[in-house]
A and B are shown apart, each in its own frame.
Chain A
């Protein structure tokens, strides 16, 4: 299977600060990147979809100014949680996809805002 590297695996930050999560597709070109959020004991909820070189499309209810997505290359996408608050504490998962196969998933990032 494809190799996806997501970092960091966990992060603790203070309320009001920003956190950047990186997602790299190591052996394929991710023309599309999905970012999901998962609260404890719940399912994965799609936050946004981005195509390389284009602005991300956000799902209803997801603040685009709070969750900044950059997909500047075919192997790297970042999600920045700006001015984080305790309610942003969650498990964030990237899911890169190329043009030929179905999506793969990163290992996830556990964000805790204190």
Chain B
């Protein structure tokens, strides 16, 4: 089955700096790669996603890149702000599995003012 590895487990940056979180996946049939932000005591919130027919997607300060050959995808947050502090999860799924998501281990991002 699919396995998703996420690094780093913790990341501390200064406000205004960029943050990059990386994930690798094992199943080459996976075709959907979302990123979630989870604040303490809350459910995950989708922040950006990418499908396997696209190499990059950007939404304001957030971007995701996908390298299908290497089977890895990354989240880039620019101009970080203290409110970006949260736990971020990557995930992967394949439509033949009915949308079941396999999550990475999570990255705790801390943005210091």
Interface on A for B, CB 8 Å cutoff? 1, 4, 6, 32, 34, 42-46, 49, 91, 93, 95, 97, 102-108, 110
Residues of A with C-beta under 8 A to B65: none
Residues of A with C-beta under 8 A to B43: 4, 6, 93, 105-108
How many residue pairs, one in A and one in B, have C-beta atoms under 8 Å apart?
50
Name the CB-closest residue of B to A1.
B46
Residues of B with C-beta under 8 A to A95: 101
Known pairs A44-B89, A102-B49; A49 contacts B100 (CB<8 A): yes
Determine which residue in A32, A46, A105 has the highest number of CB atoms from chain B within 10 A of its CB, and name it: A105
Chain B: number of interface residues, binned into ranges: 20 to 34
Residues of B with C-beta under 8 A to A104: 46
By the criterion CB–CB under 8 Å, are B42 and A108 in contact? yes
Known pairs A6-B43, A110-B41; A49 contacts B98 (CB<8 A): yes
By the criterion CB–CB under 8 Å, are A102 and B99 in contact? yes
Those 8 A-B pairs whose CB atoms lie nearest each other, nearest first = A105-B43, A108-B43, A43-B103, A44-B103, A107-B43, A105-B44, A97-B99, A43-B105
By the criterion CB–CB under 8 Å, are A108 and B41 in contact? yes
Interface on B for A, CB 8 Å cutoff? 32, 34, 36, 41-46, 49, 89, 98-106
Residues of A with C-beta under 8 A to B103: 43-45
By the criterion CB–CB under 8 Å, are B34 and A102 in contact? yes
Determine which residue in A1, A34, A44, A95 has the highest number of CB atoms from chain B within 10 A of its CB, and name it: A44
> What is the distance, in angstroms, from B59's C-beta to the closest C-beta of chain A?
14
Partner of B100, one of A34, A42, A93: A34
By the criterion CB–CB under 8 Å, are B34 and A32 in contact? no
Known pairs A43-B106, A46-B101; A93 contacts B34 (CB<8 A): no
Residues of A with C-beta under 8 A to B99: 32, 34, 97, 102-103
> What is the distance, in angstroms, from B68's C-beta to the closest C-beta of chain A?
19
Residues of A with C-beta under 8 A to B41: 91, 108, 110
> What is the distance, in angstroms, from B41's C-beta to the closest C-beta of chain A?
7
Residues of B with C-beta under 8 A to A4: 43
